[in-house]
C-alpha cells in the first residue's frame, strides 16, 4: 500500500485507462437576446423598469415614514412596519433582481478558462525565503545566546500572569450560594400583591406563587428596601410556591412531618436543574413540571424528581404560622436551592451540620 | 452582436477620472496589486450550491448595517428604570434600561421595529446559511487538500456565529432572553471545579448581577464582529488564492477553472444577490413577526412562559439537555453535574472537534495527499455521505428533543414518550441512517455504471420476428458519459505486512492495521466506475444493435443528468 494514489480523474482525462476521454468545453450557445434585437431591447426595458420601480418604492418609503402612524394596521399587520418594510425591502429586491436579469440576459456570457497553479510555493521561493529567514535568525544570534532566549521566554511566559490576574475583579469570589433571604419568622407573601397569606385562604389543590416578605418591605420614605438587580438576585434564589394538598396524600420523609400547615407545603420555585422558575402544577397527581426542560417533581413526596434531567429534589421550606395567623418560614431552606455548582456537596454538609 | 464600444479611458467620465485614478495608482500601485491578488477578469465557476456561502456573507453585511442602526438607541444597561412610553400595557413597570430602550426602538422609533426584525431574521439566516454551506462543502468533499485550513476557518465562523447570536438574543433583557441567560448560568455552574468562579466572574456577582448585559453588548458589537470580519476576510482571501472548486464536466479539469469573469458577470450576479438577500430579509421583517419582546415583559427570575425556546441553532443543545438522564455525582467532595455538563457543554465540544478533525481523519484513512479542485458527487464517497447524513440525523433527533413540549401539545403525544424516543433514537437512528444512506449511494453508483454500459432507455419498443418485445437502449452523449466517469478509481486494498521478511514485527504495524481496517471500511461496497474494456465492449453492444443502429432522431438534444432524453422532458 502506498500513500500516493495513482493520479486519476479528469485532470488526466486522456490517460489510456480512463474509460471516456474529455470531449472538451461544449460550444457556446447563443441566447435569444444575443441574436434577436427585439428581445434584447425588451430585456433592456425589463431591467430599466425594475430599477425604476425600485426608485419609486424608496420614494414610497419616505412618504410612508411621514404619513403612516404607528397605531395603523394593514391586513392585521402593524401598518407602519409593513409600509416601511415592504417599500424598503421591495426596492432592494427589485434592484437585485434587475442586476441579475441584466447579467443573465445582456452581459456577455462567454465562459472563460483560467489555469490553476499548485497552492504550494515553488521550490526556489521556499529556498530563497529560508535563506533570508536563516540570515535574519543568524544575525539576531538567538541560537548562540541561549541565556537571552530563555530569559525572554521566561518573561513572555510571566506576561501571562498580569493578563490573568487583572481579570480578578471581573466579579467577587463565589459567596452565599447556600443561603437565601429566608429566615425564621419571615412571612410568605403573594408574589404580585405582596400580601401575607393565611392558611384558610388556600383551597385544596391550589398553588400560590410567593416571595419572602422582605421583597416588599419599604423604608421610611416608602421606597422598597430591595430593588433593581438586588431584588432580582434575591428572587432568583428565594422565589417559592405554596401548595395545599389533602394532608392524607402527603408522605413526608423523616423530620419533615411538621414542615407543613394543614397540608400546605412550601417549595423553592427555582428548578434544581438549570434554574428555570417552575410553575406547571398538576393538581390531581401533585406533580410540578418545569416548562424549560420538563423535570417533574412530586410535591406530595418531598419534591422528589420523578422525570427529567434534574437530579436534586425541590428544596422544601419549613412553614409555620405567626401570632396573626399568617404563613411564615421556620428557617432558611435546609437544602441548597437553584442549579448545582461544584462546591454544592461541601456547602450541603455545612448546612446539615448547622441544623 | 457587436456594437460600437468606446474604451472607458476615452469616455468623458473616464477622461475626468484619469487624474484621480492616476493619483491613487501613483501612491498605492493598484493596477499591479490588483493584477496579482484579484484580477478584474478572475473566473468563478457557477453552480446553485456555490450561492449558499454567499447568503451567509450577505446576511452578515445586513447584520452589520441593521446592527449599527440599532446601536443609535439601544442602552446596554441593567440600571433600573420605570417605563413610561408608547406601549401602554407596560407603563409604570420597573425594568432595566436595556429592556425599556428596546421597547423604545420597537414603538418610539419609526422603522425601529422593522430594523430589529430584519436584524433578527438576518441572524437566523446567517447561521442557517453557514450550516447549509458547510453541508455543501462536506458532501462534495470540497474541504480536501488544499482547503483544510479554510474548512477550519469556516468552522470558527460558525462557532463565533452561534456565540454572537446568543449574545444578541440576550441583550433586550426581556423575560425570554433572561430565561436564556438563566439557562446559560446553569450551564456555567455545571462546569466541574471552576463553575462557581466562572459564574461569579462572568456575571460580576450572583446571577443576574449588573454586568452581564454591558459585557455581552461589548462582545456582540465589537469583539465577535471584529473576529468574524477578520475570519471572513481570511476565508475570502483563501478562496481567491486557491480558486473556487468546480464540478467535473467536459473541459473542466483539476488544472483549470471554467466560469464567468468577475467583471462583469460574476460581480453583477453576486452584487445583485446582496440586494436580493437584503430585500428578502427586509420583507421578512415587514411581514413576519419575530421576538415580540413587549409580549414577554421585563425579566423576572421567578417567572417564565411555557414553551420557552432558544433560537433554532441552539435547539440541538436544548434537546440534549432536556433528554439527558439526571446524572449528578459527588466525587472528591465536589459536585459533578453531568446531567447539565455533558449535553450542555461537552456535546458542542465533541461536535466541533469531530467536524474539525474530519478532513484530516479522512485523508489519513484514504491516504490521499493530492490536491483536489473537482468536487465529488456525494454518491461517489458513500461512507462520507453516510457519516454526514448520520450526523444530520443525530442533530435532527436532538432538535426534536428541544421541541418535545411543543410537539407533545400540538400532536397530543406523551411528553415522556417523546423524551424516551430521543434518548434511544439519538444512537439508533443515525446508525440506521448511515446504513440506508450508504446503500442508496451504492445503488446510485450502480445506476451510473449501468447508464454507461447499457445506455439510456430510448422509449422505442421493438418487436422481434418471434414476437418478443424489448426497449432499445442508446449510448449517452459523450459529455454525460465523461461526467459519470470523471471521479477517482477505487484504490486496490492490501493488508499491511505485519512482519518483515525476517519475521520481525513491522514498525508501527498496529497503526497500519487500524488504518487498513478503516480503509476497507471506507471503501467497502463502493462500486468502481467501468473500465476502458467495459466501455469498449458496451459501445460495441450498443452501437451495433444487431446491425440496426439506433436512429436518434432530429429532435434529440442529449439527455439530462438522470439519463432522460431532453426532448422528452
Q: Each residue's pLDDT tens digit in chain B (569 positions)?
A: 456 788 888 899 989 999 999 999 999 988 888 888 888 899 999 999 999 999 999 999 999 999 999 999 999 999 999 999 999 999 999 999 999 999 999 999 999 999 999 999 999 999 999 999 999 999 999 999 999 999 999 999 999 999 999 999 999 999 999 999 999 999 999 999 999 999 999 999 999 999 999 999 999 999 999 999 999 999 999 999 999 999 999 999 999 999 999 999 999 999 999 999 999 999 999 999 999 999 999 999 998 887 788 889 999 999 999 999 999 999 999 999 999 999 999 999 999 999 999 999 999 999 999 999 999 999 999 999 999 999 999 999 999 999 999 999 999 999 999 999 999 999 999 999 999 999 999 999 999 998 888 888 877 787 888 888 888 788 888 888 899 999 988 888 776 666 666 777 766 778 888 998 999 999 999 999 888 888 888 877 776 555 455 555 566 665 655 555 565 44
A191 touching chain B per CB within 8 A: yes
Alpha helices in A172-223, H assignment, sequence order: none
Q: Which of residues 5-24 of A touch B (CB under 8 A)?
A: 5-11, 13, 16-24
CATH 1.20.810.10 domain locations along chain B: 38-298+318-376
Residue A29 to chain B, least CA–CA distance (Å): 13
Q: Which of residues 155-184 of A touch B (CB under 8 A)?
A: 167, 170-177
Contact residues, chain A, for B117 at CB < 8 Å: 81, 85
Contact residues, chain B, for A5 at CB < 8 Å: 366-368, 370, 488, 491
Q: Which of residues 236-295 of A touch B (CB under 8 A)?
A: 236-237, 239, 269-270, 273-277, 279-280, 291-295
Residue A16 to chain B, least CA–CA distance (Å): 8
Q: Which CATH class is domain B38-298+318-376?
A: mainly alpha
Q: Tell me the C-alpha distance between B141 and B145, whole Å.
A: 9
Q: Which of residues 148-207 of B touch A (CB under 8 A)?
A: 179, 182-183, 185-187, 189-197, 199-207
Contact residues, chain B, for A295 at CB < 8 Å: 326
Q: Tell me the C-alpha distance between B122 and B114, whole Å.
A: 12
Contact residues, chain A, for B452 at CB < 8 Å: 19-20
Inter-chain CB proximity A232 and B300 less than 8 Å: yes
Contact residues, chain B, for A17 at CB < 8 Å: 489, 531-532
Q: Tell me the C-alpha distance between B452 and A316, whole Å.
A: 74
- Match 470531449 to its residue by C-alpha cell: A23
Contact residues, chain A, for B339 at CB < 8 Å: 273, 309-311
* The C-alpha cell that represents A106 in the structure block: 445582456
Inter-chain CB proximity B479 and A18 less than 8 Å: no
Helix (H, G, I), strand (E, B) or coil at B536: helix
Alpha helices in B29-111, H assignment, sequence order: 30-37, 51-71, 97-107
- Decide if B32 contacts B24 (C-beta within 8 A): no
Helix (H, G, I), strand (E, B) or coil at B93: coil
Per DSSP, the residues of B237-297 read HHHHHH---B--BTTB-TTEEEEEEIIIIIHHHHHHHHHHHHHHHHHHHHHS----HHHH-
Inter-chain CB proximity B479 and A26 less than 8 Å: yes
Inter-chain CB proximity A236 and B285 less than 8 Å: no
Can you give the pLDDT at residue B521? 93
> E strands, A67-187, where?
73-74, 77-78, 112-115
Count the alpha carbons within 13 Å of B22 in the hemisphere toward its beta carbon: 7
B257 touching chain A per CB within 8 A: yes
Phi, psi of A242 (to 5 degrees): -115, 125
Amino acid at each position: 500500500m502506498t500513500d500516493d494514489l495513482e493520479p486519476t480523474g479528469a485532470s488526466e482525462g486522456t490517460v489510456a485507462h480512463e474509460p471516456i476521454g474529455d470531449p472538451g468545453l461544449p460550444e457556446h450557445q447563443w441566447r435569444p437576446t444575443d441574436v434577436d434585437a427585439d428581445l434584447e431591447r425588451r430585456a433592456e426595458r425589463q431591467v430599466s423598469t425594475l430599477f425604476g420601480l425600485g426608485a419609486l418604492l424608496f420614494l414610497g418609503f419616505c412618504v410612508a415614514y411621514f404619513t403612516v402612524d404607528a397605531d395603523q394596521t394593514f391586513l392585521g399587520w402593524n401598518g407602519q412596519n409593513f409600509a416601511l418594510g415592504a417599500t424598503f425591502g421591495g426596492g432592494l429586491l427589485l434592484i437585485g433582481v434587475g442586476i441579475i436579469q441584466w447579467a443573465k440576459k445582456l452581459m456577455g456570457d462567454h465562459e472563460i478558462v483560467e489555469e490553476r497553479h499548485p497552492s504550494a510555493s515553488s521550490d526556489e521561493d521556499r529556498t530563497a525565503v529560508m535563506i533570508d529567514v536563516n540570515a535574519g535568525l543568524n544575525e539576531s544570534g538567538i541560537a548562540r545566546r541561549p541565556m537571552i532566549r530563555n530569559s525572554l521566554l521566561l518573561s513572555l511566559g510571566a506576561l501571562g500572569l498580569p493578563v490573568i490576574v487583572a481579570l480578578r475583579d471581573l466579579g467577587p469570589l463565589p459567596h452565599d450560594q447556600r443561603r437565601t433571604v429566608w429566615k425564621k419568622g419571615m412571612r410568605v407573601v403573594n408574589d404580585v400583591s405582596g400580601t401575607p397569606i393565611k392558611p384558610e385562604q388556600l383551597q385544596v389543590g391550589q398553588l400560590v406563587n410567593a416571595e419572602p416578605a422582605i421583597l416588599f418591605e419599604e423604608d421610611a420614605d416608602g421606597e422598597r428596601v430591595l430593588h433593581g438587580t438586588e431584588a432580582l438576585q434575591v428572587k432568583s434564589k428565594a422565589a417559592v410556591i405554596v401548595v395545599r394538598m389533602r394532608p392524607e396524600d402527603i408522605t413526608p420523609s423523616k423530620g419533615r412531618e411538621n414542615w407543613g400547615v394543614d397540608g400546605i407545603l412550601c417549595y423553592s420555585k427555582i428548578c434544581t436543574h438549570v434554574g428555570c422558575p417552575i410553575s406547571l402544577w398538576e393538581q390531581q397527581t401533585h406533580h410540578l413540571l418545569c416548562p424549560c426542560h420538563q423535570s417533574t417533581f412530586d410535591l406530595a413526596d418531598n419534591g422528589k424528581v420523578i422525570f427529567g434531567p434534574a437530579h436534586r429534589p425541590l428544596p422544601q421550606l419549613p412553614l409555620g404560622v405567626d401570632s396573626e395567623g399568617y404563613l411564615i418560614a421556620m428557617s432558611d431552606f435546609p437544602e441548597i436551592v437553584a442549579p448545582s455548582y461544584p462546591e454544592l456537596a461541601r456547602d450541603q454538609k455545612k448546612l446539615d451540620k448547622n441544623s | 452582436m457587436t456594437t460600437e464600444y468606446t474604451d472607458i479611458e476615452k469616455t468623458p467620465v473616464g477622461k475626468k477620472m484619469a487624474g484621480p485614478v492616476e493619483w491613487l495608482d501613483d501612491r498605492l500601485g493598484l493596477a499591479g496589486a490588483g493584477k496579482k491578488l484579484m484580477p478584474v477578469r478572475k473566473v468563478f465557476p457557477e453552480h446553485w450550491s456555490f450561492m449558499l456561502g454567499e447568503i451567509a456573507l450577505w446576511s452578515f453585511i445586513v447584520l452589520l448595517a441593521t446592527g449599527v442602526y440599532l446601536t443609535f438607541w439601544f442602552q446596554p444597561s441593567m440600571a433600573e428604570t420605570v417605563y413610561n412610553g408608547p406601549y401602554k400595557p407596560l407603563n409604570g413597570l420597573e425594568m432595566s434600561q436595556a429592556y425599556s430602550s428596546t421597547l423604545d426602538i420597537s414603538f418610539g422609533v419609526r422603522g425601529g421595529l422593522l430594523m430589529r426584525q430584519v436584524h433578527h431574521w438576518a441572524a437566523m439566516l446567517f447561521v442557517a446559511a453557514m450550516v447549509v454551506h458547510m453541508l455543501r462543502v462536506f458532501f462534495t468533499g470540497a474541504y480536501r487538500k488544499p482547503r483544510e485550513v479554510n474548512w477550519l476557518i469556516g468552522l470558527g465562523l460558525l462557532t463565533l456565529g452561534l456565540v454572537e447570536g446568543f449574545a444578541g438574543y440576550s441583550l433586550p433583557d426581556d423575560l425570554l432572553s433572561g430565561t436564556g441567560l438563566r439557562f446559560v448560568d446553569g450551564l456555567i455552574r455545571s462546569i466541574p471545579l471552576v463553575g462557581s468562579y466562572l459564574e461569579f466572574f462572568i456575571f460580576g456577582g450572583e446571577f443576574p448581577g449588573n454586568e452581564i448585559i454591558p459585557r455581552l453588548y461589548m462582545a456582540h458589537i465589537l469583539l465577535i464582529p471584529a473576529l468574524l470580519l477578520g475570519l471572513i476576510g481570511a476565508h475570502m482571501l483563501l478562496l481567491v488564492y486557491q480558486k473556487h472548486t468546480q464540478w467535473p464536466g467536459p473541459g473542466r479539469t483539476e488544472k483549470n477553472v471554467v466560469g464567468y469573469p468577475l467583471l462583469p458577470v460574476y460581480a453583477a450576479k453576486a452584487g445583485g444577490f446582496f440586494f436580493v438577500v437584503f430585500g428578502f430579509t427586509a420583507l421578512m421583517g415587514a411581514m413576519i413577526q419575530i421576538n415580540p419582546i413587549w409580549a414577554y415583559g421585563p425579566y423576572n427570575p421567578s417567572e417564565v412562559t411555557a414553551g420557552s425556546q432558544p433560537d433554532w441553532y441552539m435547539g440541538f443543545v436544548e434537546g440534549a439537555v432536556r433528554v439527558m438522564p439526571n446524572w449528578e455525582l459527588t466525587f472528591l467532595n465536589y459536585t459533578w453535574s453531568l446531567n447539565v455538563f455533558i449535553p450542555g457543554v461537552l456535546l458542542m465540544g465533541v461536535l466541533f472537534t469531530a467536524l474539525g478533525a474530519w478532513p484530516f481523519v479522512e485523508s489519513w484513512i484514504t491516504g490521499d495527499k493530492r490536491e483536489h479542485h473537482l468536487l465529488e458527487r456525494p454518491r461517489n464517497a458513500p461512507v462520507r455521505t453516510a457519516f454526514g447524513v448520520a450526523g444530520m440525523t443525530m442533530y435532527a433527533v436532538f432538535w426534536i428533543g428541544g421541541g418535545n413540549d411543543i410537539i407533545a401539545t400540538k400532536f397530543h403525544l406523551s411528553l415522556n414518550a417523546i423524551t424516551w424516543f430521543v434518548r434511544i433514537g439519538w444512537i439508533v437512528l443515525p446508525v440506521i441512517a448511515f446504513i440506508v444512506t450508504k446503500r442508496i449511494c451504492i445503488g446510485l453508483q450502480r445506476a451510473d455504471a449501468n447508464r454507461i454500459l447499457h445506455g439510456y432507455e430510448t422509449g422505442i419498443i421493438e418487436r422481434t420476428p418471434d414476437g418478443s418485445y424489448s426497449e432499445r437502449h442508446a449510448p449517452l452523449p459523450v459529455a454525460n458519459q465523461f461526467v459519470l466517469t470523471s471521479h477517482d478509481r477505487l484504490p486496490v486494498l492490501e493488508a499491511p505486512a505485519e512482519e518483515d521478511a525476517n519475521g520481525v514485527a513491522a514498525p508501527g504495524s498496529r497503526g497500519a492495521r487500524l488504518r487498513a481496517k478503516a480503509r476497507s471500511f471506507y471503501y467497502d461496497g463502493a462500486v468502481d466506475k467501468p473500465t476502458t474494456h467495459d466501455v469498449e465492449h458496451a459501445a460495441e453492444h450498443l452501437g451495433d444493435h444487431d446491425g440496426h443502429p439506433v436512429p436518434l432522431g432530429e429532435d434529440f438534444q442529449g439527455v439530462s443528468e438522470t439519463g432522460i432524453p431532453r426532448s422528452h422532458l
